[in-house]
Structures are given as C-alpha cells and as structure tokens.
Amino acid sequence: MRTIKSILVVLAMLVSVASFAGPIDINSADASTLASAIIGVGESKAIAIVEYRDAHGPFASVDDLSNVKGIGMKTVDKSRRNLMVSAPPGK
C-alpha cells in the first residue's frame, strides 16, 4: 500500500510540473505560482522569494534564486526548466 501511495505522489508531481504551458518568469510570478513551479518550495518559501525580489529588485538570472534564504542551488536545479527571468526594461 505504501508503494502505491509513493507512486501516486510521484505521478501527481509529474503531472503538476508537466501542466505548465512554459517556464514562469520569476520576476513577475506571484507566490502561489512560484510554489507550484519550484519543486521543494512551499507557500512560505515562495513568499520569501517575492519579498526578496521586492527588497532587492528583479533577479538577473534563475541562479539568483539561491540568494534567497532557504533556497539552494539543488532546489534551483530541480526546477530550472520551469523557470526564466524577463529581460530588464529597455533591453
């Protein structure tokens, strides 16, 4: 029974990741969208990402997510394909 539950959880995660039409922009996404798009990030860490972005300005690259407390490069790497950064205004 435990194996079946594990398989269902993995399938649910794959379906949720596969349901994105394309990568999300970490410079404009809200906390809920970030929590859904970044594997291993829940609502509270997603809020921390938005607060960091508000305090420090837009992210220059997806790797900059690792500057947010509680977000490491392993977390960034797991979701890299789901993420992007918008070009700064005027470029």
* DSSP per-residue letters across 40-75: T--HHHHHHHHHHHHHH-S-SSGGGGGGSTT--HHH
Residues contacting 36, CB < 8 A, separation 6+: 16
For the cut 80, the answer to whether the pLDDT of residue 16 exceeds it is no
For residue 46, what are its two tokens? 């997603």
How does pLDDT run across 24-62, given as a tens digit for each residue?
Answer: 999 999 999 999 999 999 999 999 999 999 999 999 999
CATH architecture of residue range(s) 20-84: Orthogonal Bundle (1.10)
CA atoms within 13 A on the CB side of 68: 26
pTM above the 0.85 mark? no
